[in-house]
Amino acid sequence: MTHPTTLFGRLFAGAFGVVKAFRPHRPIHTQGILLSGTLELTGAASGIPFLDGDASLPVTARLSRSCGFPVAWPDVIGLAVRFRADDADADLLLASTGWRVPGRFALLMHRTAGVARLTSLMPYRGARGAVLLGARTVGTDPGAPRRFRPDAEWDLELFWATPLGPWNRCGSLRLTPVLDAGGRVQDTPLRFDPLLNQLPTAQTYGWTRRLREHSYRLARQ
């Protein structure tokens, strides 16, 4: 018998395929910018060893708008972050959601990145149970793709939480745009994949993988 999450995953992939027919390169998160910076982990008690240690890692990131609506409209904000750990790439994908329960399980639209609360939406599997990751801007709102200032410095605080529990600070992220030869903010063809490039020591639940694997496989084509 097919698992229900596999069926839902196939339905999502079907809808994704329709969009891909019109946007073959990037069906979603079409508008984005390339960023670089540093991930600082200050220690936590999440049950994920990598997250619970101290580390300072260089990162490459992409800030994007999911649906590709006109820039003046709100859109789902996405932040993909890549770093090297254990000689392999690790990708963390965050999207704009609510911050409290139950809103942290629903996508929300915003005009700029600074007002958005970004979460992993789906939990990771830690030694003590399910763990959500989240980030929020501290300081100046950097804008959004197509409105991101070339001189912007985007500072975020990082958090972890159980699905129904409070957020606990565990680090920070500082990002700046990567400029082209003309000093302009640029996008990147780089693709991020949390299923192929998993976070170190963070396991995935079978149901979260089944929900996403069909769409991600289609996106790689």
Q: What gap in Å lies between CA 149 and CA 144, rounded to an integer?
A: 9
3 part of a folded domain? no
| pLDDT value of position 188 | 92
What's 85's domain CATH number?
Answer: 2.40.180.10
Domain count, the chain: 1
| pLDDT value of position 86 | 84
Tens-of-pLDDT digits for all 221 residues of the chain? 566 666 655 654 455 454 445 455 665 678 899 999 999 999 999 999 999 999 999 999 999 998 888 888 999 999 999 999 888 999 999 999 999 999 999 999 999 999 999 999 999 999 999 999 999 999 999 988 878 889 999 999 999 999 999 999 999 999 999 999 999 999 999 999 988 999 999 988 888 888 777 665 655 65
For residues 102 and 169, is the Cβ–Cβ distance under 8 A?
no
- DSSP one-letter string for 48-86: -HHHHSEEEEEEEEEEEESS---TTS-EEEEEEEEEEET
| pLDDT value of position 14 | 58
| pLDDT value of position 221 | 56
| pLDDT value of position 45 | 94
| pLDDT value of position 16 | 43
Task: For the beta carbon of residue 144, count every other beta carbon within 10 angstroms.
Answer: 24
User: 110 lies in which domain range?
Assistant: 30-205
219 part of a folded domain? no
1 part of a folded domain? no
194 part of a folded domain? yes
Task: For the beta carbon of residue 37, count every other beta carbon within 10 angstroms.
Answer: 23
109 part of a folded domain? yes
Question: Left, alpha or beta for 71 (phi > 0: left; psi -120 to 50: alpha)?
Answer: alpha
10 part of a folded domain? no
| pLDDT value of position 72 | 85
| pLDDT value of position 29 | 72
221 part of a folded domain? no
Q: What gap in Å lies between CA 12 and CA 216, rounded to an integer?
A: 10
211 part of a folded domain? no
